[in-house]
Amino acid sequence: MKVSVIQMVSTTDLQVNLDSAHALLRAAAREGAELAVLPEYFCLLGHSDTDKLGIQESFGDGLIQRFLGDAARELDLWIVGGTLPLAAPPDDATSAGGTGRVYNSTLVYAPTGQCVARYDKIHLFRYDNGQERYDESRVLMPGQEPVVFELPSRDGHCWRVGLSVCYDLRFAELYRAYARGGVDLLLVPSAFTYTTGQDHWEVLLRARAIENLVFVAAAAQGGRHENNRRTWGHSMLVDPWGSVIAERAEDPGVVSAELAFARIEACRAQLPALAHRVL
């Protein structure tokens, strides 16, 4: 199955970002991709964290959701919509400071244009090195459940795909739960900071692939943004042995590779570590 991860440098303008995403999805389709993955916050990286509240949508309809469904149908692609802000129930959407909060959600669209899966980011990023400060819990509600969807590919296999987002990558137990559930491919749409990305991004992605003997596809934000934020990029595809099979360092673009189900089977036969689990 050919998979494309899409790297973006999203702006503070929703329509500009949707136009950019469409051009990159079209390029992935031209390369023969069956599955294309957009990065976290593909639709908006605002001047402040609260900007995402202004474009939030109710699950089931909205400009961003219609864009994703229409693109999947038009391009005959499975599309994983990075993340977009989905409204939380009114009783849950207010923080202690009185500011509304939303879910940071990944939506999956089949080539029919139908939304077939939703994952709300579970782990919310917080970081403070004295110069850079982030606290996603100020505007985001955490999700509660891992989510798997099935993708019947042209190669005759039905791939089980596990969903995660960015900071989730640091929590190995989420991915081990996916492995126990028979997942073959892990998706990690992200907007890693440049500071943390240069030290941890690749090693974490490769570790998740190695320890679970699965493919990992990570679509990232990668470059200097209009809001002066810098993201690490290095969107990549990693095989079950931990080898990086395709990568893009910075700037917008499409990273594609053919993922062979036989590679998973071979790695698991050589090193049946999943069968040796004790705990």
What does the DSSP 8-state code read for residue 89?
Answer: P
E strands, 164-234, in order: 185-187, 215-218, 222-224, 230-232
Of the residues 34, 43, 115, 121, which is catalytic? 121
Residue 166 annotated in active site: yes
**40, 57, 136, 250: which one is catalytic?**
40
Kindly state the tokens that stand for 241: 């042995």
C-alpha span between 121 and 91 (Å, rounded): 19
Is 121 a known active-site residue? yes
Which position among 34, 52, 136, 166 bears the catalytic label? 166
- Are the CB atoms for 18 and 36 separated by under 8 Å? no
SS3 track for 49-99 = HHHHHHHCECCCCCHHHHHHHHHHHHHCCEEECCCEEEECCCCCCECCCCC
Q: Do β-strands 140-141 and 115-120 pair in parallel, antiparallel, or remain unpaired?
A: unpaired
Q: In whole angstroms, give the CA distance from residue 270 to residue 16.
A: 47
Task: Give the catalytic positions in this structure.
Answer: 40, 121, 166
